[in-house]
Amino acid sequence: MLARTIGRTVVEMIQGDITTVKADAVVNAANSALAGGGGVDGAIHRAGGPDILAECRRLGGCATGDAKPTSAGRLPARWVIHTVGPVYNPLRAEESARLLGSAYRRSIEVADQLGARSVAFPAISCGVYGYPLADAADVVWETLAQTLPGHPNIEKVLLVQFNMHAYDAYEAAAPTE
Ligand code: AR6
């Protein structure tokens, strides 16, 4: 397991299914309608149960790069933070990077406001939204480096990779110790 300390936060990378991860807040890679879907979104709603979607329907959607919380239903977490990453656009790579960074930053801000001490992230936008893993990994580590020092109450961030391919890409982009 890879671990880095950023500010007062320990960032750990693990491989696995985020619906089984114990954390105060689990981040969902949602769509802007907060309507549920496939991938990690589908897995979170299946495992967490229908209460999460019922709450999502009352939130009025979520802009790309923003994040909104609900309770976590049956998941081993207190909250789900639904964030919307960008659909990767190679012709507007800088805008994609800004929006992906914003999704992570806003999720951390919302988690801190809720009082979460631990937050688990999937690889937002790296599935059907098509973000190249290596590029996403650079954005994620850079955003964590910029954001976490301002949120010392977040003790732990878990980066949960579904497969070894993603794990390797994020590991390659990790800051040196
Ligand atoms: N645990 C951890 N990671 C997972 C899991 C899981 N159970 N399942 C998939 N992943 P994606 P996106 C990984 O497509 O690209 C949905 O339909 C997956 O391997 O879930 O942000 C939403 O409703 C990949 O690395 O999210 C949106 O419409 C990463 O999670 C759209 O997909 C993200 O893949 C969002 O697309």
Check residue 125 and give its pLDDT.
98
Q: What is the full per-residue pLDDT of the chain (177 aa) written as tens digits? A: 899 999 999 999 999 999 999 999 999 999 999 999 999 999 999 999 999 999 999 999 999 999 999 999 999 999 999 999 999 999 999 999 999 999 999 999 999 999 999 999 999 999 999 999 999 999 999 999 999 999 999 999 999 999 999 999 999 999 998
Q: Which residues contact 147 (CB under 8 A, 6 or more apart)?
A: 104, 105, 108, 109
Q: Which residues are catalytic?
A: 41
In the chain, where does DSSP find H-type helix? 39-48, 50-57, 93-114, 133-147, 164-173
Round to whole Å and give the CA distance between 71 and 134.
32
Q: How far is the CA of 44 from the centre of ligand 1 (A)?
A: 10
Q: How far is the CA of 4 from the centre of ligand 1 (A)?
A: 24
Hey, which of 18, 19, 40, 170 would you mutate to test ligand 1's pocket, going by the most ligand atoms within 8 Å of its Cβ?
40
Check residue 23 and give its pLDDT.
98
For the record, the structure tokens of 114 come out as 């809720």
Determine which residue's CA is closest to atom 33 belonging to ligand 1.
127
Hey, which of 80, 128, 164 would you mutate to test ligand 1's pocket, going by the most ligand atoms within 8 Å of its Cβ?
128
Domain ranges of the chain: 2-173
Which pTM value belongs to this model?
0.98
Round to whole Å and give the CA distance between 165 and 97.
21
Determine which residue's CA is closest to atom 7 belonging to ligand 1.
17
Q: If you classify domain 2-173 with CATH, what class do you get?
A: alpha beta
Strands 25-29 and 79-83: parallel
Check residue 98 and give its pLDDT.
98
